[in-house]
Amino acid sequence: MSQGPSSSRRQITLPAATRTGSPVPWLTSIHSTINRGHWGASSYRGNCGGYLIKDLLAFYEPTHVLDPMTGSGTCQDLCKSLKVPCTSFDLRAGRCAGEAGSYADLEPYDFPPYWRMIRYGDDPRCFSRAPTLEEFMGRLGGILKCCQSGLAPGGKIAVLIGDYHDPGLGRQVPLSTLTTSLAIDRGLWPACTPIIRLQHGNASSRRSHSSAFIPGVHDTCLVFERA
C-alpha cells in the first residue's frame, strides 16, 4: 500500500481571506484550532471545544444566548467568562429541546448555539435515539421551530453538525446539506457562509473500519436567521 502524500503535502495553509469590517477577522469559512480551550469537558462525547463558539459570540455580540443541549457546558462556561447572559438546558436534566414548553418562560434570545448527533442516554426524546434519518430530521425541524419561537429580532441560530458515513445504511448521510434545506423550509435563511470546523483530536480518528470510505475530518457550523 502506498504511503500517500508526504506530510508536507497534507499540511493545510489557509488561504488569505478578504478584509472586512469584522471584529473577528480570523473567523472565516474554515475554523481550525488544535486546542479546545478550558470550557466544558473534553471527556464529554461530541464536545467540540470553545473557540468556534467564542468567535461567533464575538462576531454576533448576542445579548442572551440559549443552548438547548448543554452537555458538559462549553457554551455556558464561555458565556459566563464573557459575561454574556446564557440559558442552558439538556434532556439529561429532563428538559427537551424539541418541546415548546421548554421555551415558554425564556427571555428572548438572539443566539442558540449548537447540537449534534451522538448516542446519549435512554430517554426516547434524545436526538441520538431517533430510529431513522427521517425521524431525526423531523425532530431537528421541531427544534428549529421551537428555537425560532423566542428568537429576538436579528437573532441567529447556529447548528454544528457533521456529515457521516453510516455503515448500517451503507451510504453517506449529508446532514449539513439536509439541515440547510430543512431550515430554509422552516422559514430560516443562512446568515453567513457555512463554517467548516476541522476536528482535531476527534474520538472517531482513533477508530478503524473494515469498509472503505473517505473519512470526514470536519463538521459544519451553519448559522441561520429569519428569512
Ligand X SMILES: C[S@@+](CC[C@H](N)C(=O)[O-])C[C@H]1O[C@@H](n2cnc3c(N)ncnc32)[C@H](O)[C@@H]1O
Pairing of strands 164-166, 157-161: unpaired
Total Cβ atoms within 10 A of residue 120: 19
What secondary structure, in 3-state letters, does 55-94 show?
A: HHHHHHCCCCEEECCCCCCHHHHHHHHHCCCEEECCHHHC
The residue count for binding ligand X (CB under 6 A) is 26
Calpha distance 37→55 (Å, rounded)? 12
How far is residue 184's CA from residue 225's CA, in Å, rounded to a whole number?
Answer: 10
Taking CB under 6 A as the rule, does residue 73 contact ligand X? yes
The one segment of 29-37, 42-50, 54-62, 215-223 that binds ligand X by CB under 6 A? 42-50
| Closest by CA position to 202, among listed 45, 51, 28, 38 | 45
From the CB of 41, what's the least distance to ligand X, in Å? Answer: 6
The C-alpha cell at 47 is 464536545
If one asks whether residue 116 binds ligand X (CB under 6 A), the answer comes out as yes
The gap from C-alpha 205 to its chain's centroid, in whole angstroms, comes to 18
Closest CB to ligand X among 8 and 43? 43
CB of 155 to ligand X, least distance (A): 19
Q: Is residue 188 a contact residue for ligand X (CB under 6 A)? A: no
In the set 32, 33, 72, 177, which binds ligand X (CB under 6 A)? 72
- Report the residue from 24, 44, 106, 178 that binds ligand X according to the rule CB under 6 A: 44
Among 74, 148, 176, 180, binds ligand X (CB under 6 A): 74
**Interacting residue with ligand X among 27, 87, 90, 195 (CB under 6 A):** 90
Segment contacting ligand X (CB under 6 A): 11-19, 72-80, 147-155, 201-209?
72-80
**Taking CB under 6 A as the rule, does residue 111 contact ligand X?**
no
Q: Identify the CA nearest to 223 among candidates 144, 168, 145, 117.
A: 144
What is the binding site for ligand X (CB under 6 A)?
40, 44, 46-47, 68-69, 71-75, 90-92, 96-98, 115-116, 118, 120-121, 125-128
